Amino acid sequence: MIHVFSISLSPRLEYILAFLIKDFFGSDFELYTDLSEFEMLEGPKISYGKRAERSIYIPSQGLLFENGIHPQTIEIDGGPKKEFFKVDGEGFDVLSACFYLLSRYEEYLPSKRDKYGRFSSEDSILGKHDLLDRPLVDEYAIDLKTEIESKFGCQLKERNYTFLPTYDIDIAFAYKGRGIWRTAGGIGRSLIHGDFKSISKRVAAITDVESDPFDTFALLDEINKENDLKPIYFFHVGEYAFLDKNVSVKYEPYRSLIENLSKKYEIALHPSYQSNADIGKLVSEKEKLETITGKQVFKSRQHFLMLELPKTYRLLLKLGIRSDYSMAFPDRPGFRAGTCTPFKFYDLELEEETKLTIYPFQLMDTTFPSYMKVDFNRAVEISKRIIDSVRSVEGTFVSLWHNNSLSNHEEWKGWQSFYEEVVKYAKQEYD
């Protein structure tokens, strides 16, 4: 039990204490506002906003006692710990810093968005200070944990590094299951560009003379088994549209693929782009996936990583989703929320902790060739550095891969072994 004194109480304070003390430290805590009562207590103690005898003092910057959402003045120091929300002459408000990052406070404020309306890595506080490759929240938490253990001679929970691979199945097949009109359109485009090789491949796949280029599921299965992986497959089952190029679930081989994989692995929802503005479509897609698998679906990841706070997470909660895996930037690997530890979604507009657990991921295959424009070797190098950062705080490394990135087809030619390199490094033993 860790006793905590605070000059005041608030939902924000209780939320961040629950994350740090319960989830990260594996302990319980009790809050006090009576200083004299608090000072009489024995055992590990933290005083917040006012100094107290025999306790670890954390100054209050004020964020945790504010109401509403306001622009914050943030200066990150140049020291190795990269602290912010410092209180003059008193030190660093670690609770406010952690809350700011986990709550995604900055994403509620007016900012430049990309063409899909997504919050930009360039506008994030960590992006601006080139700190997206560091899990600052976890680093802060470990420092506080070490201080508590040292001062009070206690032992808090030890964390263990884990690896969770995840797969987004946006387009299960490159050519199969496209229907007459989409197939004719594809052939027509190839004819216009004189791409007869593509036409040949399309016909071979449709007639089962050759396997479809995107049908890499046997290879994924082999990698899973060889490395004892327990992945989550996120399936897109929405209707076809401009940004939803998936195969229809009416296509029997696609339904069979989902059904068969659900017998071996965990299956989750990958909501269509269209569903962002239509909860009816979201409900329908979840029901489709549950009908195919015969199991309830409680996990989800947004197509195109479409996140609009708090709207997106409120919709998922209404749908009965318990865990979301969308928390990362599409254009940069690393730590969008400054952590590689699962955490609860805090609704800043309602000022309440919700039941939705957010599992941030750190690495996505398409980030490297599509956004960063780096080659294979550079992508492997960056990936290893991110994995090392997760390991340094004994966190959860979550990767996002697509079946088509293992195809060696078109833009993915030469990238097939990228995933195997990442898995090998993520799974290797380390000191």
What confidence tens digit (pLDDT) does each residue in 166-218 have?
Answer: 999 999 998 775 655 555 545 556 566 666 466 656 655 566 657 788 999 99
Q: Is 309 helix (H, G, I), strand (E, B) or coil?
A: coil
The predicted structure's pLDDT at residue 308 = 96
- Percentage of residues of the chain with pLDDT beyond 90: 85
Residue corresponding to tokens 């690495």: 363
Q: Is 139 helix (H, G, I), strand (E, B) or coil?
A: helix
- DSSP β-ladder status, 232-235 and 45-48: unpaired
Domains observed in the chain? 2-152 (no CATH), 162-174+212-427 (3.20.20.370)
Q: How far is CA 43 from the centre of its chain?
A: 36
- For the stretch 333-359, pLDDT in tens is 999 999 999 999 999 999 999 999 999
20 in Cβ contact with 12 (< 8 Å): no
Report the C-alpha gap between 207 and 195 in whole angstroms: 19
CA dihedral 310, 339, 330, 366 (to 10 degrees): -140
Distances 373 to 47, 335, 413 between C-alpha atoms, Å: 48, 20, 14
pTM assigned to the model? 0.94
End-to-end Cα, the chain, rounded Å:
31
Residue 19 scores a pLDDT above 80: yes
Helices then strands, each counted (H, E), the chain: 13, 15
Higher pLDDT, 365 or 411: 365
Provide the residue type at 137 as one letter.
V
Q: Please classify residue 123 by burial: count the beta carbons closer than 10 Å to its beta carbon, then call 0-12 exposed, 13-18 middle and 19+ buried.
A: middle
Q: Is 18 helix (H, G, I), strand (E, B) or coil?
A: helix
- For the stretch 50-81, pLDDT in tens is 999 999 999 999 999 999 999 999 999 888 99
- For the stretch 98-135, pLDDT in tens is 999 999 999 999 998 999 999 999 999 999 999 999 99
Q: Nearest-5° angle of CA 73, CA 75, CA 76?
A: 145
Token output for 279: 């909860």
Check whether the bond before 310 is cis (ω within 30° of 0): yes
Residue 393 scores a pLDDT above 70: yes
Token output for 105: 């406070």
Average pLDDT, whole number, for the chain? 93
Report the C-alpha gap between 119 and 329 in whole angstroms: 8
Provide the residue type at 429 as one letter.
E
pLDDT average, residue stretch 397-402: 98
Report the C-alpha gap between 78 and 84 in whole angstroms: 10
- For the stretch 289-317, pLDDT in tens is 999 999 999 999 999 999 999 999 999 99
Report the C-alpha gap between 342 and 395 in whole angstroms: 9
Report the C-alpha gap between 2 and 220 in whole angstroms: 45
Report the C-alpha gap between 425 and 14 in whole angstroms: 38
Residue by residue, DSSP assigns 165-231 as: EEEEES-S-SSTT-HHHHHHHHHHHHHHTT-HHHHHHHHHHHTTSS--TT--HHHHHHHHHHTT---
By mean pLDDT, which of 78-82, 133-137, 327-331 is the weakest? 78-82
Q: Which residues pair with 169 in a beta bridge?
A: 235
Report the C-alpha gap between 61 and 160 in whole angstroms: 32
The predicted structure's pLDDT at residue 280 = 95
The predicted structure's pLDDT at residue 172 = 95
Residue 89 pLDDT class (50, 70, 90 cuts)? confident
The predicted structure's pLDDT at residue 197 = 61
Instruction: Outline where 272-357 has alpha helix (H).
Output: 279-293, 311-319
Which residues are CB-neighbours of 384 under 8 A, at least 6 positions away? 425
The predicted structure's pLDDT at residue 431 = 41
- Sign for the CA dihedral angle at 393, 424, 264, 246 comes to positive
Contacts 24+ apart (CB under 8 A), 35-40: 35/5, 38/3, 38/5
Which residues are CB-neighbours of 342 under 8 A, at least 6 positions away? 23, 323, 357, 358, 359, 360, 396
Q: Please classify residue 28 by burial: count the beta carbons closer than 10 Å to its beta carbon, then call 0-12 exposed, 13-18 middle and 19+ buried.
A: exposed
325 in Cβ contact with 268 (< 8 Å): yes
